[in-house]
Structure 1
Amino acid sequence: MRAPVGGLFRHVADLTVELARRGHAIGIVADSGSGDAATQDRLDSLATHASLGIHRLPIPRLLGMSDATTPLKIRRLARELDVSILHGHGAKGGFCARMARLGKSDPKALYTPHGGALHFDPRSLQGRLFMQIERLLLPASDAVVFESAYAKDVFADKVAVPRCPAPVIHNGLAPAEFEPVIPTDDAADFVYVGELRMLKGIDLLVEALAPLAAADGRPATLVMAGDGPDRNGLTARIEALGLSGRVTLAGVQPARQMFARGRCVVVPSRAESLPYIVLEAAAAGRPVIATRVGGIPEIFGPTADDLIASDEVEALRTAMADWLSDPSRHEAAAVRRLAFIRDRFSLRTMADQVESLYRQLAQ
């Protein structure tokens, strides 16, 4: 992988720990030139599970000279460590793993996009370039693994239909994450957890909140956890709407801790792949208001009709008002959603499917 952040790193970390627990030897390659003060700490936390080591090599975000040299270093590393599987995560991780595999029968190379290049507009020059690179690398792919059926469909539309095995293997959660979270007595009406980016619909959320009131007539409240490039713009909009006393910006906080600080989780995204935050909220038994984007309908399952249109403040406001007036209906939907995801989106199920694919390819 390139950068150990976000949902991609969460997936890699979970898979590393679980496969190591099952007796597999795992190594991690990550970019040496990016990250923050917490990057090495995140990687170090996996050191006891990565018996093949944690290796930092230059993996630029876009194109660079290292794209020619790093795959050769990975190929040499794979030979020295006698690995049977190279699993590239994200666009650049997938690029490096498959370039290292070119011209060799072993190790096998797998690729999980995690969105990656698929986020680029295929009509743009950059988008056309990246889609063409994806097409050229498909013959070097022994399998392409998708975290959602949505991602598989987008890949087929923008790149091609893989001729190699291309299973959908959903992200999974650990057993402790299925323990219920009960809101505190002073919890806000709504809680948002995620990046503070307009892509996540944070502007729509505060706009929708402004006129809303709870059943007892008091103004509805919201707590927002996270940070990001649009934090200052969000703060200015909150002040302009006169919501400073009703919206709390909590900074970066653990998701489950924040679920206790709000009675209903809101995910107003304009675009997503398969967001962990929706999975985590559903596993915690919390009511969730979310938009119909990406793979979220796959998580909502039998409650997918409750999803709302994206980028529409009125649709979001209506859903939030409905929860304020009748929370029992949303609580009942949360129970159905939890029953749906408990086995389908467990860490055990995810690891079982990945391990089975590895064994199939390594034979």
Structure 2
Amino acid sequence: MRSPVGGIFRHVLDLAAEQSANGHLVGIVLDSSTGGAFEADKIAAATRHLALGVTRLPIARRVRPADMLAAWRVYKAVRDLEPDVLHGHGAKGGALARIVGTILARRGRPVARFYTPHGGSLHFPKTSHSGRFYFAVERMLERFCDGLIHVSCYEAMAYREKVGKPRCGASVVVNGLRREEFEEVVPAADARDIVYMGMMRDLKGPDVLIRAVAAIRDRTGRAPTVAMIGDGPDLASYRRLVEDLGLSQAVAFHAPMPTRRGMAHGHLMVVPSRAESMPYIVLESIAAALPLVATSVGGIPEVVGAAPSRLVPPGEIEAMADAIERALSDPVRTRTRALLARATLRERFTVEAMADATERLYAAALGQSVRGAKTAGVPSLQPAE
């Protein structure tokens, strides 16, 4: 993978930990130029149970000539680990894993090559110049891939629509949660009305939330209080937006922190994303019985299923303000809905099921069988068609 932040980072750490617990030798290769102290602590903790360790190398986000040097560095690092499987996460990680795996195979080391987009390049519009470029690259890289593993049906459909019908195997394996994450989170005594946790970038919609809070203030004369937790490239612009809208007393910014500790900062989780694949924060909030307002993007409707929830169109400030107002105005009803939503989630999204399903795909690509593989509770491997 490239950057050790956000849901993709969480996914990789969970998958690696579960695979290690199942007796496999696992390592992670990731970028060295992104992430802060919070991510460094996570990586240090992960290193203790990864037999092949953690290798950090500079890997740029955008496509540029330096990618050739990055690919060479990744190749040297991975070659020495002698892997049976290379699983790339995100667009850049996926490209490197498939290219390096193919080079290893041609030099006599058979390697199964897998790719999980996590949204990535699929977030680009189909008609944009950047989108057409990245989709063409994705199409080309299918030649070097043994299997696509999507984290949501939405992502699988987006891949088909933008890249084309996969020419390699394609399955859906949803994200999973640990058992302890289904324990209820109780808001702190000084918790704010709303909590946002995630990347501070426009794709995730923090600006929509801020403007929705201003709209509520203009309607009612009082702005809901907000805890905004996270870091990212657009953080400075959100701070300016809060000041420009006169919300400095209502909105407080916090550095990244463990999810469950962050959840206790608010009575209502708001996920205002403009695009997603299968966001962990939605899963985590529902599992913790924390009331949720989210946008109807990506795999979020798949997580919600038939459970009561409030999904609003992405980017629509007034609709977001309406949903927040409804949730805050009737806390008893909102709380009841949160408990019902948790009950529907418990059996569907577990880290054990995620790892077991992924392992079976690895084994199939290697022409092996998984002895004693669990079947109960494993999500169906739906074809990308």
More deviation in 200-209 or 63-72?
Answer: 63-72
More deviation in 195-204 or 82-91?
Answer: 195-204
Letter paired with 1:35: T
SS in 2 for 1:209: helix
CA 1:234 to 1:143, structure 2 compared with 1: closer, same or farther past 3 Å? Answer: same
In structure 2, what is the Cα distance between the partners aligned to 1:138 and 1:275?
A: 25
Letter paired with 2:34: G
Letter paired with 1:356: R
User: Is the contact between residue 309 and residue 337 of structure 2 (CA under 8 Å) also seen in structure 1?
Assistant: no
In structure 2, what is the Cα distance between the partners aligned to 1:56 and 1:240?
A: 39
1:63 matched to 2:63: yes
In structure 2, what is the Cα distance between the partners aligned to 1:235 and 1:78?
A: 41
In structure 2, what is the Cα distance between the partners aligned to 1:360 and 1:245?
A: 56
Find the counterpart in structure 2 of residue 35 from structure 1: 34
5+ residue gaps in structure 1?
A: none
CA 1:160 to 1:310, structure 2 compared with 1: closer, same or farther past 3 Å? Answer: same
Output one character per residue of 1:233-292: Cα deviation in whole Å (capped at 9) or x when no partner.
333333343333222223333321232221111112222221111111111111101110
In structure 1, what is the Cα distance between the partners aligned to 2:353 and 2:202?
A: 33
Find the counterpart in structure 2 of residue 280 from structure 1: 284
More deviation in 256-265 or 217-226?
Answer: 217-226
In structure 1, what is the Cα distance between the partners aligned to 2:271 and 2:331?
A: 17
More deviation in 293-302 or 1-10?
Answer: 1-10
Aligned positions, number = 360
CA 1:11 to 1:242, structure 2 compared with 1: closer, same or farther past 3 Å? Answer: same
Find the counterpart in structure 1 of residue 8 from structure 2: 8
2:137 to 133, 137, 158: 133
In structure 1, what is the Cα distance between the partners aligned to 2:332 and 2:319?
A: 20
Letter paired with 2:26: I
CA 1:188 to 1:42, structure 2 compared with 1: closer, same or farther past 3 Å? Answer: closer
SS in 1 for 2:270: strand
SS in 1 for 2:312: coil
- Structure 1 segment 19-168 matched on structure 2, within 5 A: 19-32=19-32, 34-36=33-35, 38=37, 41-65=41-65, 67-68=67-68, 71=71, 80-102=80-102, 104=105, 106-168=110-172
- Normalising to structure 2: TM-score of the pair? 0.84
In structure 2, what is the Cα distance between the partners aligned to 1:65 and 1:348?
A: 39
CA 1:136 to 1:257, structure 2 compared with 1: closer, same or farther past 3 Å? Answer: same
More deviation in 133-142 or 198-207?
Answer: 198-207
CA 1:217 to 1:329, structure 2 compared with 1: closer, same or farther past 3 Å? Answer: farther
More deviation in 276-285 or 185-194?
Answer: 185-194
Find the counterpart in structure 2 of residue 336 from structure 1: 340
SS in 2 for 1:88: strand
Find the counterpart in structure 1 of residue 173 from structure 2: 169
CA 1:186 to 1:101, structure 2 compared with 1: closer, same or farther past 3 Å? Answer: closer
CA 1:57 to 1:306, structure 2 compared with 1: closer, same or farther past 3 Å? Answer: closer
More deviation in 50-59 or 318-327?
Answer: 50-59
Find the counterpart in structure 1 of residue 205 from structure 2: 201
1:297 to 298, 301, 308: 301
- Structure 1 segment 188-267 matched on structure 2, within 5 A: 188-210=192-214, 212=216, 220-267=224-271
2:326 to 295, 313, 322: 322
User: Is the contact between residue 118 and residue 158 of structure 1 (CA under 8 Å) also seen in structure 2?
Assistant: yes
- Identity over aligned pairs, percent: 44
CA 1:53 to 1:246, structure 2 compared with 1: closer, same or farther past 3 Å? Answer: closer
SS in 2 for 1:302: coil
In structure 2, what is the Cα distance between the partners aligned to 1:325 and 1:77?
A: 55
In structure 2, what is the Cα distance between the partners aligned to 1:110 and 1:298?
A: 23
5+ residue gaps in structure 2?
A: 369-385
SS in 2 for 1:102: helix
CA 1:184 to 1:45, structure 2 compared with 1: closer, same or farther past 3 Å? Answer: closer
Report the Cα offset of residue 40 of structure 1: 5.2
In structure 2, what is the Cα distance between the partners aligned to 1:198 and 1:74?
A: 30
SS in 2 for 1:298: helix
In structure 2, what is the Cα distance between the partners aligned to 1:3 and 1:229?
A: 13
More deviation in 238-247 or 125-134?
Answer: 238-247
